[in-house]
Structures are given as structure tokens and as C-alpha cells.
Amino acid sequence: MGASTAPVPDTPAHTIDAFHRGRFWLVQPSRGGHRAGMDAMMLAAAVPSGFSGRLADFGAGAGAAALAVLSRCPAAQAVLVERSAEMAGFATATLSHPGNGHLGDRASVLTADVTLTGRARTEAGLAGNSFDFVIMNPPFNAAEDRSTPDALRREAHVAEDGLFERWIRSAAAVARPRGGLAVIARPEQLVAILDAIEGRFGDAELLCVHPRPDAAAIRIVVRAVLGARGKLSIRPPLILHGPSGNGPAERTEMINNGLASLFGD
């Protein structure tokens, strides 16, 4: 990730940022709203490198995770699903950016609430059995945490009660049989995620993300398969930095730049 040298200039309302060492560009809000970073790259890296199906990015924001999948998986297609009309506008601008011409024809933006159910969800454009993989980076800050006064950023960051149940229920509805799911969240939300996938997704894999070898995990990534019945497995962790904390570890750099998958496939 880096600052833009792309032909479309930054403005007071947005910035143009390079990801995957300039293999794609993101148009994102300069102040208000959610700005993408390492979480999106780790989530995208949970998708296997050989993935060639249709992917839904729930809560896509400006499109970082979905485009990171397309950058690494040249045969994949993606639908960027975003409830906020303003953030969906940034996602549309991202797909229209001239630096993303090689990816834009494999992606589209859908403005929809992923918590809708039944006919309302289908009428919003989220048909059942229509995706091979669903990725999600839901709001995961607790309401009692100190929150930003910016309404758009608060919507992207603050979790509502029952959020994981509603998002994962929708993922199970729109995924095809044996379709994949990947979720990034905080460690304290693991129980809610496991409760939500029970009876829907199986063969779950858990990977913890630690800032340093001696530090507690700050993120978890859970991956699972629709309709599978295998038990949970815990994978080797991702350590973002070495013991000194100076600079990212080699594996972190590779994941951050779309050169490796998170689960080794």
C-alpha cells in the first residue's frame, strides 16, 4: 500500500491509494468513512490463490478486499456489496479508476443491506446459491468503545447486537453448496462467529494475528465451507512484526502485497 502517483488526483474529499505495489488503486474517503488497510488485505488473502469463481464482499467499503482477491486470482469475479450509498459511490469510483481497467470488468457494485432476509434480500440483488465464496469484514467495535463522531465511519466500525448471526445467515443463503466463507474480526468475537456458523458452515479454520511473537492476538480470521461437517482446526498464526517491532515480517509483506495466501493455498 502506498500513496498515489496515479493519473487521477487526490481531492479534499478522497485519496487515491495504491495496493499490491500498484497493481490496483483504491478511491477512498480522505477523512470521514472507513479507510482500508491491513485488515482488508488479510481478509482477501484468506481466499485460495487458485479461486476462479464468483465472490461476494459483504460490507465492501471502497472495495479493497474484493480487488485484492481479483488482483491475486485472475479468473475470479466479485460483487462489492455495501449498504452505505456514499461508500458504494467510492467503490464505483474505484472500479472506474483507470489504473483498475484490468480488474473492473470482473467486478460490480451492489448497494444493499446484507442483513435483509428472504424475498427482501433476493429483491435487493442477493439471490440464493449465487456465490462461490463470501468474505466479510463486519463492524466489530463494541458500542461502549470510544467511537468516532463521524457517522459514516461509526457505521463501518461499530457492531450491532447479533451482527455476526445476521451477516453469516445471509452468507449461508447466498453461497452455493460447498461455498467458502472468510471473516475477519477481533479475538473476543470468536464465540459469536462460531455460534453463527454452527449448522451452516463446517471444516472451520481459525488463524490468529499477532502484532509480535510475544503479544496477544489482535485479529482472528475464520474460514469455513458451507454444508461441511468437519471440526474446527487452528492454523499457525500470522505474526505481523519481528520481536523488535520494526518493520513488517516477510510473510506479512507478502500477504499485504498479494504475493501469498493466508492459509497457504
For residue 63, what is the domain's CATH number?
3.40.50.150
| DSSP assignments along 66-81, one per residue | HHHHHHH-TT-EEEEE
Domain assignment present for 168: yes
Domain assignment present for 214: yes
Domain assignment present for 70: yes
Q: Quote the radius of gyration of the chain (alpha carbons, Å).
A: 17
Query: In the chain, where does DSSP find H-type helix?
Result: 38-45, 64-72, 85-96, 101-104, 118-123, 151-157, 163-174, 190-197, 250-256
Domain assignment present for 157: yes
Parent domain of 26 = 2-256
* Each residue's pLDDT expressed in tens, for the chain with a length of 265 residues: 444 444 455 666 789 999 999 999 999 998 767 787 899 999 999 999 999 999 999 999 999 999 999 999 999 999 999 999 999 999 999 999 999 999 989 999 999 999 999 999 999 999 999 999 999 999 975 655 555 555 555 554 455 679 999 999 999 999 999 999 999 999 999 999 999 999 999 999 999 999 999 999 999 999 999 999 999 999 999 999 988 778 899 999 999 999 999 999 9
pTM: 0.88
For residue 238, give the H/E element and its range: strand 238-239
Query: How many other CB atoms sit within 10 Å of the CB of residue 159?
Result: 19
Domain assignment present for 184: yes
**Number of domains present in the structure of the chain:** 1
Helix axis angle, 163-174 to 190-197, nearest 10°: 40
Domain assignment present for 261: no
